[in-house]
Copies of this chain bind each other. A is one copy, B any other.
Amino acid sequence: MENLDELERQQWWDQIEKALDNEEIDHFRAEFLELHPYDQAQIFIEQSKKIRMQIYTYLSPDEMAEVFENIELDDIDSILTEMEPRFAADILAEMALDDAVDILNSLEQNEVASFLAIMNAKSANEIKDLLHYEEKTSGSIMTTEFVRVKSSMTIREALNHLRKEAPDAETIYYVYVIDDDKHLVGVISLRDIIISEEDWYVSDVMSDRIVSVPAGEDQESAAKMMRDYDLLALPVVDFQNHLLGIITVDDIMDVIQEEASEDYSKLAAVSDMDKVDTGAWMAAKKRLPWLIILLFLGMLTASLIGRFEETLDKVALLAIFIPLIAGMAGNTGTQALAVAVRGIATGESDQEGKLKILAREAGTGLITGLCCGVLITVIIYLWKDEFYLGLLVGISIMLTLIVATLAGSLIPLLMHKMKVDPAVASGPFITTINDIISILIYFGMATAFMDVLL
With contact pairs A309-B316, A331-B291, A348-B275 given, residues A439 and B256 touching in the complex (Cβ less than 8 Å): no
**Shortest beta-carbon distance from A148 to chain B in Å:** 17
Q: Which of A182-204 contact B (CB under 8 A)?
A: 190-191, 194-195
Most chain B beta-carbon contacts within 10 A, residue among A324, A349, A432 = A324
Q: Which residues of B have CB within 8 Å of A36?
A: 209, 211, 229
User: Can you list 14 A-B pairs, Cβ within 8 angstroms, ordered by A?
Assistant: A2-B347, A70-B228, A172-B191, A227-B254, A280-B362, A284-B367, A284-B368, A284-B371, A291-B331, A295-B375, A301-B324, A326-B327, A327-B428, A334-B428
Q: Which of A245-268 contact B (CB under 8 A)?
A: 249-250, 252-254, 256-257, 260-261, 263-265, 267-268
- Provide the A303-346 mask, 1 if CB < 8 A to any CB of B, else 0: 10110010011001111111110111011101101111011000
Q: Is A444 an interface residue (CB 8 A)?
A: no
Q: Which residue of B lies closest to A173 (CB)?
A: B173
Q: Is A283 a contact of B364 with CB atoms below 8 Å?
A: yes
Rounded to whole angstroms, the CA-CA distance of A338 and B324 in the bound complex is: 23
Q: Which residues of B have CB within 8 Å of A321?
A: 302
Rounded to whole angstroms, the CA-CA distance of A290 and B371 in the bound complex is: 12
Q: Is B229 a contact of A38 with CB atoms below 8 Å?
A: yes
Which of A24-32, A53-61, A149-157, A159-167 is found at the contact surface with chain B? Answer: A159-167
Since A166-B194, A280-B364, A284-B363 are in contact, a sample of 5 more A-B pairs with Cβ atoms closer than 8 Å, ordered by chain A residue number, is A2-B350, A70-B228, A249-B249, A291-B368, A294-B327
Which of these, B213, B260, B328, contacts A1 with CB under 8 Å? B213
Q: Is A221 an interface residue (CB 8 A)?
A: yes
Please report the total number of A residues contacting B with Cβ < 8 Å.
126
Which of these, B190, B221, B265, B323, contacts A298 with CB under 8 Å? B323
Q: Is B298 a contact of A327 with CB atoms below 8 Å?
A: yes
Q: Is A420 an interface residue (CB 8 A)?
A: no
Q: Which residues of B have CB within 8 Å of A173?
A: 173, 190-191, 232
Which of these, B159, B268, B299, contacts A335 with CB under 8 Å? B268
Q: Is A63 an interface residue (CB 8 A)?
A: no
Q: Is B250 a contact of A230 with CB atoms below 8 Å?
A: yes
Q: Is A288 a contact of B371 with CB atoms below 8 Å?
A: yes
Q: Which residue of B lies closest to A360 (CB)?
A: B280
With contact pairs A163-B195, A191-B166, A273-B339 given, residues A372 and B267 touching in the complex (Cβ less than 8 Å): no
Q: Is A360 a contact of B256 with CB atoms below 8 Å?
A: no
Q: Which residues of B have CB within 8 Å of A273?
A: 338-339, 342
Q: Is A277 an interface residue (CB 8 A)?
A: yes
Q: Which residues of B have CB within 8 Å of A64?
A: none
Q: Is B277 a contact of A302 with CB atoms below 8 Å?
A: no
**Shortest beta-carbon distance from A111 to chain B in Å:** 27
Q: Is A312 a contact of B316 with CB atoms below 8 Å?
A: yes
**Shortest beta-carbon distance from A289 to chain B in Å:** 10
Which of these, B303, B323, B334, contacts A435 with CB under 8 Å? B323
Q: Which residues of B have CB within 8 Å of A312?
A: 316, 319
Most chain B beta-carbon contacts within 10 A, residue among A294, A316, A326, A361 = A316
Q: Is A416 an interface residue (CB 8 A)?
A: no
Q: Which residues of B have CB within 8 Å of A439?
A: 323
Q: Is A268 a contact of B334 with CB atoms below 8 Å?
A: yes
Q: Which residue of B lies closest to A258 (CB)?
A: B260
Which of these, B264, B309, B334, B364, contacts A269 with CB under 8 Å? B334
Q: Which residues of B have CB within 8 Å of A320?
A: 302-303, 305-306, 309
Q: Which residue of B lies closest to A278 (CB)?
A: B360
Q: Is A319 a contact of B305 with CB atoms below 8 Å?
A: yes
Q: Is A270 a contact of B339 with CB atoms below 8 Å?
A: yes
- Provide the A234-253 mask, 1 if CB < 8 A to any CB of B, else 0: 00000000000000011011
Q: Is B376 a contact of A295 with CB atoms below 8 Å?
A: yes
With contact pairs A321-B302, A367-B281, A367-B284 given, residues A335 and B249 touching in the complex (Cβ less than 8 Å): no
Q: Is A379 an interface residue (CB 8 A)?
A: yes
**Shortest beta-carbon distance from A298 to chain B in Å:** 4
